[in-house]
Structure 1
């Protein structure tokens, strides 16, 4: 099983109703953004990609190791016991509720390129009926997180954080026996979706599927039903304290919509 991501689909007539649900829910949280509408009769510019769920779990793992200042190793190069211990660190960091890579359902949802960028992921109320348990990320913030740990897995962005064509081709041709191949593959697909590289021009939501118009909303399909206003600390967010009550170890908490994390 795997996930798919796409950019540019929300602007098509078939998904206009989905786009309106998202627009209304974001507007209620003070986030101004609308999916660009595809030109009538013209083909929508769509980027799509996919990879196994285990690749996403591995990518989150190396992000957390780098974030904590731990040695960064590929999932293929560690024992099962060490891998499981590292995933407990991922759970611990996820419940800080500040990472756009970590705080997102695996099977559904959106990242949006809102001009009024939000620092932390949004947790929309259940009644908003937004896929992915209501978790919505910022594609710009996700891009910054990806750029921040790229070098730790052997990726060489330019000084401005972009990838030149030669480096992008190198990543596409990375040998299957490279110790970071799964993590690099997932990183590269998400980077392309978020950045709007000239070759791909993402224009809509990231759907695990991605959003549009400008480097756009990312969408994932099939959360945390807690009202989330931009700028409100996680510890004061309605609904969040219930999942972080004293006496409940962070390592035992899981966000909804997470797939099994086998290697």
Structure 2
């Protein structure tokens, strides 16, 4: 078990899971209430598009990539690959302390990875429209994951991280090279030393591209 990404979830559930389809439609209605509260356009989820789905590397894989973002914010440098417990890195503590204590007082430079960092690692949504600030369900509408991000911003952030790692972004996320690198974390050469980070990054990039192209939400499940 672990985190999975899906784009085109209503298209997927429409004929396969009536209860799941109704649940997601209700969730997206709540998301639209959150958008309206932030003076943003409603999201209209398509139901007739090709479905993109992929698994992440358990639930921990995402945190390896977030650690890279944290180091770029805190130390302005890419660290050595992490081989265990990325959430225990001091840069992660410093980064999230800054987010928690400073919030909107942070500079734009400090907010440049917010859509990756300020989102649930287990559930929730990214929408195919551009907005700078991550949306928080402060009125307790019941939006899964509490935070809603922008697929456009997520793509920008992950592309920046890919460049920092030297990872090509034109490869198929299911290319065996990514799984091999992830299972040999910290070894090899170049970007493949950052196997867990790149495994997560290429999947987020692919999901965000599909989201933007087809006007559908990325759903974390």
Normalised to the residue count of structure 2, the TM-score between the two structures is 0.73
Distance 1:194 1:74, change over 3 A: same
Q: Deviations over 1:73-126 (max 9, x none)?
A: 2111x8x79953232123234435531111111221111012xx2111111223
| Aligned match of 1:7 | 7
Deviation at 1:182, TM superposition (A): 0.8
| Aligned match of 2:43 | 34
| Aligned match of 1:257 | none
Normalised to the residue count of structure 1, the TM-score between the two structures is 0.63
Contact 1:113 1:138 in 2 (8 A): yes
> Is 1:172 matched with 2:187?
no
Contact 2:178 2:199 in 1 (8 A): yes
In the alignment, the residues of structure 2 paired with residue 81 and residue 168 of structure 1 have an alpha-carbon distance, to the nearest angstrom, of 24
Deviation at 1:186, TM superposition (A): 0.8
- Runs of 4+ that moved beyond 6 A: none
Which of the numbers 70, 76, 82 marks the counterpart of 1:64?
70
Higher helix share: 2
- Bigger shift: residues 122-131 or 90-99: 90-99
Deviation at 1:8, TM superposition (A): 0.8
Contact 1:9 1:44 in 2 (8 A): no
In the alignment, the residues of structure 2 paired with residue 6 and residue 140 of structure 1 have an alpha-carbon distance, to the nearest angstrom, of 16
Q: Give the number of aligned pairs.
A: 193
Contact 2:173 2:206 in 1 (8 A): no
Counterpart secondary structure, 2:118 = coil
Query: Pairwise CA RMSD of aligned residues?
Result: 3.0
- Bigger shift: residues 167-176 or 46-55: 167-176
